[in-house]
Copies of this chain bind each other. A is one copy, B any other.
Amino acid sequence: MDAVQKANSGHPGTPMALAPLAYTIFTRFLRHNPENPQWPDRDRFILSAGHASMLQYALLHLTGYDLTLDDLKNFRQWESRTPGHPEHFLTPGVETTTGPLGQGFATGVGMAMAERFLAGRYNRIGHEVMNHHVYCICSDGDLMEGVANEAASIAGQNALGKLVYVYDDNRITIDGTTALSFDREDKAKRFDALGWHVQHVDDVEDLEALEEAIREARDEEERPSLVIVRSHIAYPAPNAIDTSAAHGAALGEDEVRAAKEAMGLDPDEHFAVPDEVYEHMDQKSRGRDLEGEWNARFRTWQSEFPELAEEWDYAWKGKPLPGYQEALPVWDASETEKLATRKAGAAVMNAFKGYAPTMIGGAADLVASTSTAFEGGGMFSPDHPGRNIAFGVREHGMGSAVNGMAVHGGMVRPYGSTFLIFSDYMRPAVRLSALMGIPAAWVFTHDSVALGEDGPTHQPVEHFMALRAIPNLTVIRPADANETSMAWRSTLEADGPVALLLTRQNVPVVDRSKFAPAEGALRGAYVLAEALGGADEPDAILVASGSEVAVALEARELLTGQGVNARVVSMPSWEIYDAQDQAYKDSVLPPSVEVRVSVEAGVPNGWERYVGFRGASIGIDRFGASAPGETVLEKLGITPENAANAVLALLGRGERVSEDEGTPAVEGTDPSEGHS
């Protein structure tokens, strides 16, 4: 109350009402060590109702984490460690960023998947180094969000018995009571139907009933557990109780006084914590003991299984084992004329999989189409901690679960995969991965209208730009098979999340004997083909990404026929290129060359950054259409002729190349697959 009142901003009602619940979890169940929030085998706690952040901050402070009373007084202020919503990267003891409803709920599901996988990989008979639970407090809003239902279904399907979720049934929403929008649904029955173990506690103030239900939930190993706890928002504030006003606004000085009086506290005292409360709440010695036992077990395990232990160290650093760079495949254009970058991606993943033994992931019921399976990795299931996860047609649940694996630790680059168009379905999860700066990999295939017949509902056009707009997200769209190897290398080495955009259709393998090596892709953009005719400075620059690099290369040849010396720049990643030093950037795109044409099969918005006022962009500023991919590209103007003519126009040349001087750069597609 005091912190929210001091900030005159925040959500006081839920932290007040759920104090008994958080107390019970943090002091009677949660196996954690306030002195080491990074202890690998700790239980995870998630406040999915992130707006109640002060509840978590208060418990972290009282149980002995490095979070001071001054931090609490600094609630919601610039550069404080107690922001409006819990942020993974800011506060010790905060496991994941929450606030966007449903995200914490779904992230916990991924944490439990990571726990099962790591237990399967590292535990040995008599040596248990990975065995913990995931506790989560969630709200009406969490349960209403579709992502939570997707994640709950994934959890039920995979029998994630280590989930101990408590649902705060306070019957209040921002707009009033749940009678408006959430009272005809039987939540208990829904979760039962999803394969969960469901219990009820009638009064959050009944500590014994609470403890009994949570214990049973923890001990239930076959099914994830949901405990539905009735609470009264803002209790014991006499006037704010059970009001939606108490959800998102400070109570006001008078009501704070009244609440303190109701609790028998001195209303004139603020941020007052009696010493006996600190003593009663302190979990440091308990945590020291818990981690101590584990450390002893761990040391024995280390000495008995040194290779496993070495692998473990890399896993918890999030790094692949040495040698992965050399293992990445190289394609020779003389042997492989064309290959879809999604197929190249499959070859790359299976080449490095042994070097990233704790990298797991899967697709939203499209694994055959996105080509993202680890061969021989086995399926993740209730009986088997395999590397390949069948998320079902649940893109959003997949995204949040992958975030959970990444924040759990011990996992090298968990990944989620679907068609690029469906990145829209999981965008909040992708954004959270960027905000947290976690090592997730998003593999989005079928990355342009060239996917063909499935039509505009399946053809991304705005998605390159929409993803590039997300801060801290690296987007890489490789031009061919060898750039795909480099793209995966950049991904394995990146600090934060990476989105790989791969083609459905075959694209030419660039002849590296004629053109620059694919390693240039590691710098985001590079001169792939120098201007022909040996001009010191090119007359023009063609800059392209992904499958359109081949279009640019053909345009360059057409231009040579017109006596125009054009350079081709392959730009798989704006973010990586923008981070290079100015000298390198100027060497790729010399400021003096203003005749620049970008070629990309998407909305041109934004390419002005690289082509400027005097340049032009060949793109698709409309939705796609249902037809064979080659036809769609031609009809929408993604052709070498259009690119070449754009250059000629910018140079003020009268002549134009004609359609029959070139053929489209993109080959036909194999029979349609994928939903739909």
Contacts and interface: CB of A to CB of B under 8 A. Distances in A.
Nearest to A460: B431
Nearest to A621: B471
Interface string A351-373: 00000000000010111110000
Interface in A199-249: 247-249
A228 to B, nearest CB: 13
Nearest to A183: B157
Interface in A458-494: 458, 461-463, 465-466, 468-472
Contacts of A327: none
Contacts of A396: 146
A348 B249 CA distance: 26
Contacts of A673: 174, 247-249
Interface string A5-47: 0011111000000000000000000000000000000000000
A101 B671 contact: no
A514 interface: no
A608 interface: yes
Contact of A470 (B150, B462, B609): B462
Contacts of A149: 146, 149-150
A146 B393 CA distance: 9
Contacts of A379: 180
Given A462-B471, A612-B612, A675-B141, A626 B80 contact: yes
Interface residues of A, number: 124
Contact of A609 (B141, B456, B605, B625): B605
Interface in A604-647: 605-606, 608-609, 612-613, 621-623, 625-628, 631-632, 635
Contacts of A672: 9-11, 76, 84, 248-249
A192 interface: yes
A84 B146 CA distance: 27
B469 A465 contact: yes
A454 interface: yes
Contact of A185 (B144, B157, B366): B157
A674 interface: yes
Interface string A172-210: 011110001111111111101111000000000000000
Contact of A150 (B50, B77, B144, B367): B144
A365 to B, nearest CB: 5
Given A144-B393, A390-B180, A470-B462, A457 B11 contact: no
B157 A153 contact: no
A49 interface: yes
A504 interface: no
A452 interface: yes
A636 to B, nearest CB: 10
Nearest to A158: B184
A195 B184 contact: yes
B194 A182 contact: no
Interface stretch (A59-67, A127-135, A422-430, A552-560): A422-430
Given A457-B97, A613-B613, A159 B184 contact: yes
A455 to B, nearest CB: 4
A77 B635 CA distance: 12
Given A78-B631, A676-B51, A424 B425 contact: no
Contacts of A471: 461-462, 603, 621-623
Contacts of A159: 184
A369 B175 CA distance: 9
Interface string A59-102: 00000000000000000111110011101000000000111110
Which of A176, A187, A392 has its CB near the most chain B CB atoms (within 10 A)? A392
Contact of A392 (B85, B144, B431): B144
Contacts of A365: 141, 144, 173-175, 181
A502 interface: no
A85 B454 contact: yes
A391 to B, nearest CB: 7
B49 A676 contact: yes
Nearest to A635: B78
Given A182-B392, A189-B192, A145 B141 contact: no
Nearest to A391: B181
Interface string A580-610: 0000000000000010000000010110110
Contact of A50 (B188, B192, B457): B457
A522 interface: no
Contacts of A463: 469
A609 B608 CA distance: 5
B605 A468 contact: yes
A674 to B, nearest CB: 6
Contact of A76 (B462, B612, B626, B676): B626
Contact of A393 (B101, B192, B453): B101
Given A608-B608, A635-B78, A51 B675 contact: yes
A1 to B, nearest CB: 14
A292 to B, nearest CB: 36
B141 A393 contact: yes
27 contacts: A9-B452, A51-B676, A76-B453, A78-B628, A78-B632, A80-B627, A100-B422, A100-B425, A141-B675, A141-B676, A146-B149, A157-B182, A173-B392, A175-B365, A180-B379, A181-B394, A182-B392, A186-B193, A190-B190, A248-B675, A424-B428, A431-B462, A435-B456, A435-B457, A462-B471, A466-B466, A612-B612
Identify the 8 closest CB pairs spanning chains A and B, nearest first.
A146-B146, A51-B676, A181-B392, A83-B626, A99-B457, A189-B193, A78-B627, A462-B469
Interface of A: 7-11, 49-51, 76-80, 83-85, 87, 97-101, 140-141, 144-150, 153-154, 156-157, 159, 173-176, 180-190, 192-195, 247-250, 363, 365-369, 379, 390-394, 396-397, 421-422, 424-425, 427-428, 431-432, 434-435, 452-458, 461-463, 465-466, 468-472, 594, 603, 605-606, 608-609, 612-613, 621-623, 625-628, 631-632, 635, 671-676
Given A84-B454, A85-B457, A159-B184, 13 more contacts: A78-B632, A83-B455, A100-B421, A100-B458, A140-B393, A141-B676, A146-B150, A175-B363, A190-B193, A190-B194, A247-B675, A465-B606, A608-B609
